[in-house]
Structure formats: C-alpha cells, structure tokens
Homo-oligomer: A and B are copies of this chain.
C-alpha cells in the first residue's frame, strides 16, 4: 500500500485528501503551519497532523507539496525525505525541488474552490518526474484518482497553464464584470445562467471555432455601435468589448 503525506491545508490539499480517501492509498498525515487551519483540517479529515517540518515522517512513498507557489522551494529546502517529493504547480519547473533526490510534478488542470466539491475522476492530471521509476510511481498514483493522466514536460504544462487562464480565469472574470454591470442596471444575473451553461456545454461535442455567433462574427456594425453606446460610461468594459470584438473579426476574416 502506497503511503502518502500531504503538505498544506488549503484548497488543493483538501481536494487531494478527499480524492485519495476513496482509494487504497494510505494517507499517513498532513503538515500545516497555521494552528487554526491544522485543527480544522484534522477535524474535517481525521488525519494525523504535523505542525513542524522537522517532525514529518521520512518513510512515506510520496509527499505532496500542496502549498502556494512561492512556498514550494523553501519547504523543499527545509525537509529531508527519502520518498518522492512532488509539487502541484503548473508553472514551476521540476528543478525547483533541487534539494531532494526523488522529485516530480503532479498538476491537476482544475481551479479548486473552498466549498465546491469536484469529480476528480474527470480532471486531467499532468505528471513529470526525474526518473522513469519515479514517473511510474506518480502515474500509478494519479491513475487511482483520475481517468485522464498525462505525462508531459514543463513547456507543455506551461502552455496548458496559459490556456487554463484564458478559459477559466478570464471567462470567470467576464461573468464577474457582467454581474456588476447588470447590478448597476438593476437586472438579475440569473438571466444569464442558461446561456453561460449552454456556451460551455456546447464544447463537449462541438469545436468552438465552428460555433461562434454574435455581432462581431457576422460584422453587424449596427448592433456593435449600439453596444458601444451602452458601454460608453464603462471604460473598462468598452475596452474589453473592442479588443475581443476586433479579435473575433480577425479570426473570422482568416477563415
């Protein structure tokens, strides 16, 4: 039975523990710096807690650094483990774990939120390791919680990270901007929910490049001029409107 240790008490740590609980992996314990968070994490998951890096057990097979990007190198430098130490950051190289002998990357392409449960099985996990043996360990571990495990190098991971920013962070920001905009107009954001869901669901079966609709894609300047008039008091929205409409324009031209 593979022994796993989790470093971190945040969203990713929480979701990892949740996912491994349904497998035959032995969760040995977790480390956290913040006493309050350690307590809450322990209460929620019933795992043994370690609040000093010096005390964490050195006999586990895999250690997950489920901590903020900026803490990864520093923690890796402070501990000495025999097992495989992996970080979970899409943008960081494997070499940031230079203090350890057995290292890897385990990056799930998902944005985790505190109180929103996810189906880990469908989340793609990108892995990389510094030896074939370590890669095999990570792969078999990832296979236990996800149906979509990919071995890839740092360049590929970083490109996917950029792409995730566009389709997740930027998309969510467009939703946020419209929640604000409709609020100023005293209109409920709920009215947009069906079209938001439909827009996303469409890509399951259809190439988004073939389903583009809207004024910019059909060069309907009458509608676009009216939109710009409505957005005139919102310079940030108007700027985004112009940049994205122009990009759709270019994209449609080039077809």
Query: Which residues of A are in contact with B by a Cβ distance under 8 Å?
Result: 69-70, 91, 109-111, 113, 116, 118, 122-124, 148, 150, 156, 158-182, 185, 187, 189, 191-209, 211-217, 220, 222-223, 226-227, 230-231, 236-237, 239-241, 243-244, 247-248, 250-251
Contact = CB atoms under 8 A, between A and B. Distances in A.
Nearest to A236: B247
A206 to B, nearest CB: 7
A173 B248 contact: yes
B163 A181 contact: yes
A154 to B, nearest CB: 11
A203 B231 CA distance: 24
Given A185-B156, A243-B239, A174 B178 contact: no
B212 A247 contact: no
A166 B177 contact: yes
Given A113-B211, A208-B179, A226 B91 contact: yes
B109 A191 contact: yes
Given A162-B230, A162-B231, A227-B161, A199 B182 contact: no
Nearest to A183: B209
Output the residue of A109, A110, A166, A227 with the most chain B CB within 10 A: A166
Contact of A164 (B122, B192, B220): B192
Contacts of A109: 191-192, 194-195
Contacts of A209: 176, 179-180
A248 B170 CA distance: 8
B198 A111 contact: yes
Contact of A202 (B116, B189, B244): B116
Contacts of A124: 191, 194
A169 B200 contact: no
